[in-house]
Amino acid sequence: MKEPVVVDSAASFLEVISSISENVTLPIFKGWPSFHVEIEGDRYRGTMTPKLMLGFVEFHEQLLRAYAEIRYGSPALTRLTSAEKAELDLVFQISKGCTDGKASLDEVINKLLAALPMSKMTGAQVATFLIVAVLSFAGYHVFSEWNSGDLEKARLAASQAQSDSNARIAEKLADVIAGGSMTTEAARVRDRASEGYRAIVSAAPDADSMEIQGHHYNADELEHIRAQEPKDRVRSERREDLQVEMVKRNQDYLSLTLRLPGEEYTFPGRVELSTFDPDKIDRLFDAIKHNKPVRLFHFSVMENGRILRTAVLAVDDITSPR
């Protein structure tokens, strides 16, 4: 068995993805890539506001959800074991002068790749996933959306700067996103990464500027990012049969793990006990006990054709929330 290649820089990563279609042995990441976000502003001089801290936490949570979706087919964090959460932990380092956050992503990337269903993927699909997952979570051009015209510009820039790793990285990302080779799994991971970075941008509303992996965003560009809705994300009321996999009771709400009949993936649901009909609570537990779907009225968030999460409003024939 061939020894895995070690990726320790952008240059070695570019070499690996150029040959992975013929060799599907996954590389090992060591010392690269890294998370790097630099925030400029009056309140961001080596300091972390409570709101900004929550943005960093949301970035980490999106990374955990990406792993859960690959490993278990569901973004529900309840599927992760304590050991997995510990192995996927991030340590952010904050420098003085500005708020300059850094963290190593190599072990996290290795965990993501180890969860891939390699037996079901071709070399080309693995290469696509590597390009999108590694570069997106590392923050390279994370908010860029390329069309065919942009793809040609990226290819031209890369051809004129063969020694510039950033130009070649932009070309690889543009080739996948605009070239039509983006797989569903890769698209979900990119959405997770962009939402994680968007949470950081939104958590610093008074920042003068920000650099994410060397890409500079001024105040106007940051405001545009905050205003953007994730691609292909839809919120809607739904009435349908759902399989209840788990119910966890909390003081003010119930946490559910739900599944559409006929689908393999699960998604989290929430029941607010203050507004939910108390006489219907037992119906949720009965659905587990008898392993039968229950018809629910719920308000869901969907992305790329999958339900990400939902708020369960009622059981049975209620057609609108009260």
Other CB atoms within 10 A of residue 71 CB? 17
So what's the pLDDT on residue 21?
61
Is 171 domain-assigned? Answer: yes
Count of structural domains within the chain? 2
Are residues 84 and 154 both part of a single domain?
Answer: yes
Are residues 18 and 50 both part of a single domain?
Answer: yes
Residue 320: pLDDT band (50, 70, 90) is: very low
Assess whether pLDDT exceeds 60 at residue 318: no
CA distance linking residue 230 with residue 191, whole number of Å: 7
Assess whether pLDDT exceeds 90 at residue 274: no
Is 320 domain-assigned? Answer: no
Helices (H), 95-231: 106-114, 123-137, 148-160, 165-178, 184-202, 219-227
CA nearest to 222, candidates 34, 55, 60 = 55
CA nearest to 257, candidates 242, 241, 268, 272 = 268
Is 150 domain-assigned? Answer: yes
The percent of the chain in helix, strand and coil, each rounded to the nearest 5, is 40, 25, 35
CA distance linking residue 261 with residue 238, whole number of Å: 14
CA distance linking residue 211 with residue 116, whole number of Å: 31
> Which of 170, 196, 227 is a domain's end point?
227
So what's the pLDDT on residue 240?
95
Beta partners for residue 249, in sequence order? 254
Is 321 domain-assigned? Answer: no
Model pLDDT for residues 170-221, shown as the tens digit of each residue: 888 888 877 667 777 888 899 899 999 999 999 999 999 999 998 999 999 9
Is 1 domain-assigned? Answer: no
So what's the pLDDT on residue 321?
44
Model pLDDT for residues 222-269, shown as the tens digit of each residue: 999 988 866 566 778 899 999 999 999 988 889 999 999 998 889 989
Cβ atoms of residues 269 and 257 within 8 Å: yes
Distances (CA, A) of 274 to 123, 270, 313: 51, 12, 11
Is 309 domain-assigned? Answer: yes
So what's the pLDDT on residue 191?
87
Model pLDDT for residues 151-161, shown as the tens digit of each residue: 566 666 656 65
> Which of 227, 253, 273 is a domain's end point?
227
Beta partners for residue 34, in sequence order? 104
Contacts of 222 by beta carbon, 8 Å cutoff, 6+ apart = 201, 204, 207, 209, 210
Structure tokens at 207: 């920042």
Residue with tokens 């891939």: 116
DSSP-derived 3-state class of residue 21? coil
Assess whether pLDDT exceeds 80 at residue 145: no
Is 168 domain-assigned? Answer: yes
> Phi-psi bin for 233: left (phi > 0), alpha (psi -120 to 50), beta?
beta
> Phi-psi bin for 268: left (phi > 0), alpha (psi -120 to 50), beta?
beta
Residue with tokens 């939402």: 195
Are residues 239 and 301 both part of a single domain?
Answer: yes
Are residues 140 and 28 both part of a single domain?
Answer: yes
> Which of 212, 227, 242 is a domain's end point?
227
CA distance linking residue 160 with residue 289, whole number of Å: 64
Beta partners for residue 209, in sequence order? 40, 218
Q: What is the mean pLDDT of the chain?
A: 86
Are residues 185 and 295 both part of a single domain?
Answer: no
So what's the pLDDT on residue 229?
61
Domain that holds residue 171: 6-227
More confident residue, 268 or 305: 268
